[in-house]
Amino acid sequence: MRTAKRHSAGIAAHAVLAILATALAAGCGTTIQGEPDTKGESTTGQGASAEWNPCSQLPDDALRAAGADPSQKNTAVDAPGDRAFFRICAWDSLDGPFHIGVGSMVLAQDEWYDNSEVTGVTPRQINDRSGLTFYPDNGDQPIRQCYVSLPMASGSLFVDVDWQYSERDSLPESPPCELAVQHAQKLEPFLPD
């Protein structure tokens, strides 16, 4: 039996894979023994660090407004230290058997178009911001996860919804992009520009 905590960690792992695929496609360097390997590194994300951390800077009021349980935070992918390519946290939803993830990264929003780990990249208005929706291209059926990307001055943000695997038969739509959009609209006023 999967626990909510274990499943939330799975959400974060899927998000990291998608983000890393984007970073690798963009030519970002790797790390060798704690030092960056800059051979062949492009200028995309070079030396940059995700400045906004949803794990510590997203207020509980924002989470409650979006129907997330602030006490059920999963920080498995919240990189330690003050420099990170991305920051991701996930919370259990109070509205159903799914998890709500929020992340920030140094990559620009448009780089999702070039990410081979996701598909269905579609422009979508989220309140006053131009957003994108997309979902994992991993062959899972039904597709239980959908992301909403939003621009940010120093990179981009995303909100994702991941329906619990054990409850996949109750999934109202596959992929759950309308649900992700609803949560992104509620969280957007609390997210940085």
pLDDT in tens, 102-150: 999 999 999 999 999 999 999 999 999 999 999 998 888 999 999 999 9
Asked if the structure places residue 184 within a domain, the reply is yes
pLDDT per residue as tens digits for the range 38-50: 333 333 445 678 8
The domain that holds 120 is classified in CATH as: 3.40.1000
Compute CA distances 57 → 51, 67, 192, whole Å: 10, 17, 10
CA distance 100 to 184: 10
Residue 165, SS3 per DSSP: helix
Segment 182-193, tens digit of pLDDT:
999 999 999 999
Give the CA dihedral 76, 80, 83, 88, nearest 10 degrees: 20
46 close to 28: Cβ distance less than 8 angstroms: yes
Record the pTM.
Answer: 0.79
* Torsion angle (degrees, nearest 10) of CA 99, 93, 146, 109: -90
Spatial separation of the C-alpha atoms in residues 53 and 47, rounded to whole Å: 17
- pLDDT for the residue numbered 74: 82
Look at residue 34 and tell me if it is in a domain: no
Residue 177 domain-assigned?
A: yes
- Asked, for residue 38, whether it belongs to a domain, the answer is no
Domain count for the chain: 1
Tell me if 35 is assigned to some domain.
no
The answer as to whether 158 is a domain residue is yes
Q: Return the minimum-mean-pLDDT range out of 47-61, 71-85, 134-148.
A: 71-85
Average pLDDT over residues 86-94: 92
In a domain, 51, yes or no: yes
Dihedral through CA 152, CA 190, CA 102, CA 87, nearest 10? 60
Mean pLDDT, to the nearest integer, of 80-106? Answer: 88
Structural domain for 86, as ranges? 4-28+44-190
